[in-house]
Chain A
Amino acid sequence: MEQLLAIWIEPLCVEQPDGSTLRDTLALLDALSALCPFTEAVRLGLFVLPLRGPSRFFGGDEAVVRAVGQIVLDVVGTAPLLGVGEGLFCAELAARHEVIVALGASDVFRRTQPLSVLGRKDLTTTCQRLGLHTLGAFADLEPARVAERFNKHALALHRVARGELSAMEGQRDVRLARRLAQLRGEDDLFEEQTGFFGQRGAGDDRADAAAHRVRRRLGADAIVVANLCGGRAPEDRATLVPWGSPLSNVRDLAPWPGQLLAPSPATTLAHPVPIQLRDANDYPVVMGARGSLSAEPAAIIFSSPLRREITWHAGPWPLVERWWSRKRHRAHVQMVLATGEALLVVTEASRWWLVGIYD
C-alpha cells in the first residue's frame, strides 16, 4: 500500500450552517494541491496526500510535514494533526497519534491498535469478552469464524484489520468531491441527463419506466429501439429490435464500398411493397444482366388503380453482393415523381419493390 500523509483538522470536522466549512475545505484543498496535485479531501476535516513524490521533491518526510503544517496554519489558522501511514486507515490512525509510521511498519502499528478504532460497539464488546483486545488479535481470527457471528460489514472490517482493504467503508465521503466541484461552479447542478460512456442518469430511468408502461399496454414487441449496423442500402443498415432485448455493442465501422450515399429516405419500409415500372410505351422496365435498364422508366404503378408519372430517375446502382447467386442481382433506383415525392426502389430478379420514401 501507498504511504499517505493524513491531515486531520479538528475545526473543519463539523459542518457549520453558514457554509464556511465547505469554503475553507475548498481553499485548503487548493492550497495543498499546489504542494501535491494528488491531494484528496477524504471527508470534512481529513485530507490525504501521497508522500513519496513530495518527499523526494522537498528532501525528506519531515520537510513535507513541516510545509503542510505551515500551509494549514496559514489557511485555517489552527495547527493540524499530521501522521504518515500506509493506506488510508493507517494514515488516519497515525494522524490521531501524530506519528510517522516508517515504511513497512504499518502492519505492526495497526495490530497494536485497540478494537474501538473500528467504530463498531457490538464487535468491540463481543471480541473483548472473547479476550481479543487488539486489531491484531481480531485479524488472526479465521474469516469464516467472523462471518459465522457477524454481518458482511464486520467482515469488511476484518479485512481492514488484516490489511487487505486500505479503508473502512464510510471513511470516505463520496459526496464531498461533488459538493466541492459544485461550490467551484464546475459541476452543473441541473444537468442530470448526460452520462459518460454508458453511465446512466435519472432521465434514462424515467425513459425505462415509460417504456415498461407501453410494453404492458401494447405487448412485448410494440416498443422498439434502433441501431445501425453495416450494410450498403438503408434497409440493410437499420435494425429495429424490441426494447429490452440485448443490444450488440459491436459498432460496425468498416467501410462499405458502394454504400448508398446520404440523404437516406426518412421512411424505410421494413416490408418492401411490390411495384411495377413502365416505360413510355407502357412496357415493363427490367434491368439487364449488364446492369442497365431496358428503357427509361416513365410511370410507377403501386396497386392497379394508383399510377404516377416519373419525372426524373437516377441509377440503377447495382450491388455486387453474393455474385455466386444468379438471383441476387440487386440494384437501387432513385426517382422523383410528378407530384413531388422522391422514392427509392430496388429491383431483383426482374421485379421491383418500393423500399424507401424521402418523406
Chain B
Amino acid sequence: MFAFSPPRPSLSPELLATLRPVSLAKSRTLPLGEPWRALVPGGALRRGSTVVVEAPIGLGGLSLALSLLSESSTLGHWAAVVGVDDPGVVAMAELGVDLRRVLFVPRPRGAWAESAADLLDGVDLLLVRPPSRPAHGAVRRLMDRVRERGTVLIALSEPRAPWPLPADLFFSVTQAEWIVSSRLDARYLTVRVSGRGEATQSGEHVVVVPNRRGRAEAS
C-alpha cells in the first residue's frame, strides 16, 4: 500500500451505527502450527491483534515466538523480526520458518517503533523485541496501526519490563526444563495462555519447544 494514504472521511455517528464490517475480524486469521492450533482459542492468530510472549531472558521466549511464525511463513506470508540482535537462523529454519520471506532489522538503534511501523505495511507477521522498557505512547500507536493494517504483532517482553498495554493474546513462560541425554534433547516449556475476548479463559499447557529435531510440538 501507500505510505501516505489519504485520511478516511469521517462518518456521522448515526450512519456508523447502521454499518456492518465487510468481513468479521475473527474470520480474517493467520494459521498457527502444531502445538498452538489446539491451545489457542480459535486455533489461529487473528489479523490486527497483538500477541505478547513474556519470558525471562534465555528461557525459551524467542523460540516460542518464532514457532508462532512458522506455519504462516511456510504458507507464503512475509514476516519481519525487529530488535532481535543475533537471530539464530539455523534454529528458525529448524522450527519451519521459510527464511526467504523473513526480513530482519537486528539493531534498530532506538528507532524500533518507527522501523516496526514501516514494516507493518509490507509483512503479515511482525516479531518485535523492544529495548528494555518500551514507551507507553509508542506502544499504543504501534498497536493501533497494527489493528488498522491487519498485521499480527508478536511482542517479546520480560517480566521485569512488561509490555505496557493489555494484549489480545498473552503467552507467559513460567517454567523451562531441559531434557538431556548425551546432548540437549528437548525443552519442556510450561506456558500460560490467556487473552481478551474469546481468549479470556486462561490455561496452562506444557509444550516442547524445541524438540529433538528443533521443531515445536505438544508434549
Q: Which residues of A contact B (CB under 8 A)?
A: 191, 193-195, 201, 203-204, 206-211, 213-214, 217-218, 222-228, 234, 237-240, 243, 261-270, 312, 314, 334, 336, 339-342, 356-359
Q: Does B39 contact A (CB under 8 A)?
A: no
A213-B3, A262-B213 known; A267-B87 Cβ under 8 A = yes
Residues of B within 8 A of A195 (CB): 76
Question: What is the distance, in angstroms, from B100's C-beta to the closest C-beta of chain A?
Answer: 8
Identify A222's interface contact among B59, B105, B180, CB under 8 A: B105
User: Would B211 and A225 count as touching, CB distance under 8 A?
Assistant: no
Q: Does B18 contact A (CB under 8 A)?
A: no
Residues of A within 8 A of B62 (CB): 266-267, 359
Question: What is the distance, in angstroms, from B189's C-beta to the closest C-beta of chain A?
Answer: 11
A218-B109, A262-B210, A262-B212 known; A206-B87 Cβ under 8 A = no
| Pairs A–B under 8 Å by Cβ, sample size 12 | A193-B76, A195-B76, A206-B123, A207-B123, A211-B103, A222-B108, A226-B87, A227-B89, A266-B91, A314-B182, A334-B183, A358-B178
Identify B103's interface contact among A207, A217, A234, A334, CB under 8 A: A207
Question: What is the distance, in angstroms, from B114's C-beta to the closest C-beta of chain A?
Answer: 6
User: Would A237 and B3 count as touching, CB distance under 8 A?
Assistant: no
Identify B90's interface contact among A213, A228, A340, A342, CB under 8 A: A228
Residues of A within 8 A of B106 (CB): 224, 240
Residues of B within 8 A of A218 (CB): 105, 108-109, 111, 115
Residues of B within 8 A of A228 (CB): 89-90, 93, 99
Residues of A within 8 A of B88 (CB): 234, 238, 264-268, 356, 359
Instruction: Compute how far the CA of A105 lies from the CA of B57 in the bound complex, rounded to whole angstroms.
Output: 80
Task: Determine the residue in chain A with the shortest Cβ distance to B124.
Answer: A203
Lowest 6 CB-CB distances: which A-B pairs, in order?
A210-B122, A262-B214, A238-B89, A341-B58, A263-B210, A194-B76
Residues of B within 8 A of A270 (CB): 86
Q: Does B94 contact A (CB under 8 A)?
A: yes
Identify A211's interface contact among B122, B184, B211, CB under 8 A: B122
Identify A226's interface contact among B77, B85, B99, B186, CB under 8 A: B99
Task: Determine the residue in chain B with the shortest Cβ distance to A210.
Answer: B122
Q: Does B187 contact A (CB under 8 A)?
A: yes
Instruction: Compute how far the CA of A76 lies from the CA of B106 in the bound complex, rounded to whole angstroms.
Output: 62
Within 8 A of A (CB), among B41-63: 57-63
Question: What is the distance, in angstroms, from B180's C-beta to the closest C-beta of chain A?
Answer: 6
Residues of B in contact (CB 8 Å), total: 61
User: Would B121 and A210 count as touching, CB distance under 8 A?
Assistant: yes
Q: Does B119 contact A (CB under 8 A)?
A: yes
Residues of B within 8 A of A267 (CB): 62, 84-88
Task: Determine the residue in chain A with the shortest Cβ distance to B107.
Answer: A222
Known: A210-B123, A228-B99, A266-B88. 19 other contacts (CB 8 A): A206-B123, A217-B114, A218-B108, A218-B115, A223-B103, A223-B105, A224-B104, A234-B90, A262-B94, A262-B212, A262-B214, A263-B94, A263-B184, A265-B88, A268-B90, A312-B180, A314-B182, A358-B184, A359-B63
User: Would A314 and B184 count as touching, CB distance under 8 A?
Assistant: yes
Residues of B within 8 A of A238 (CB): 88-90
Q: Does B176 contact A (CB under 8 A)?
A: yes
Question: What is the distance, in angstroms, from B104's C-beta to the closest C-beta of chain A?
Answer: 5
Question: What is the distance, in angstroms, from A273's C-beta to the closest C-beta of chain B?
Answer: 10
Question: What is the distance, in angstroms, from A235's C-beta to the closest C-beta of chain B?
Answer: 9
Identify B178's interface contact among A194, A206, A208, A342, CB under 8 A: A342
Task: Determine the residue in chain A with the shortest Cβ distance to B61.
Answer: A359
User: Would B91 and A223 count as touching, CB distance under 8 A?
Assistant: no
Instruction: Compute how far the CA of A114 lies from the CA of B52 in the bound complex, rounded to whole angstroms.
Output: 72
User: Would A227 and B87 count as touching, CB distance under 8 A?
Assistant: no
Q: Does B199 contact A (CB under 8 A)?
A: no
User: Would B77 and A193 count as touching, CB distance under 8 A?
Assistant: yes
Residues of A within 8 A of B101 (CB): 207
Within 8 A of A (CB), among B1-32: 1, 3
Residues of A within 8 A of B36 (CB): none
Instruction: Compute how far the CA of A263 lies from the CA of B184 in the bound complex, rounded to whole angstroms.
Output: 8
Task: Determine the residue in chain A with the shortest Cβ distance to B110.
Answer: A218
